[in-house]
């Protein structure tokens, strides 16, 4: 499914994305794809998602920022578009995208 969100604050977008990604997919080995505009954004977003996903709690019940961001690919928009167009069965051999 394609989710498209816009906001004036990048941290708000990261929190919303973490909310979307927190729902377990039907197949636990299924990858999630998140298009990013730069390599720096890829690194920042991966670390920011790890702060929100899979967090543990300490003995007092306080949430820890020790989560894991796994099985998420962060391609650039053009690479994601090509990947979608080249997906098995989406285009015939003679199709012109």
- Helices 39-52 & 10-21 angle (0-180, nearest 10): 60
DSSP H helices in the chain: 10-21, 39-52, 77-85
Question: CA angle 94-77-16, nearest 5°?
Answer: 130
Q: What is the pTM of this model?
A: 0.73
Per-residue pLDDT of the chain (97 residues; tens, 9 = 90+): 777 777 889 999 999 998 888 887 788 888 899 999 999 999 999 999 988 887 667 777 776 666 788 889 999 999 998 888 888 665 555 655 5
Gap between the Cα atoms of 37 and 74, Å rounded: 9
SS3 13: helix
């Amino acid at each position: 499914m394609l989710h498209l969100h816009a906001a004036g604050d990048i941290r708000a977008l990261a929190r919303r994305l973490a909310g979307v990604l927190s729902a377990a997919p039907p197949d636990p080995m299924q990858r999630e794809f998140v298009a990013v505009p730069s390599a720096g954004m890829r690194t920042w977003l991966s670390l920011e998602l790890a702060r929100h996903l899979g967090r543990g709690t300490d003995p007092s019940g306080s949430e820890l920022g020790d989560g894991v961001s796994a099985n998420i690919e962060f391609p650039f928009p053009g690479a994601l578009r090509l990947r979608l167009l080249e997906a098995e069965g989406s285009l015939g051999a003679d199709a012109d995208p």
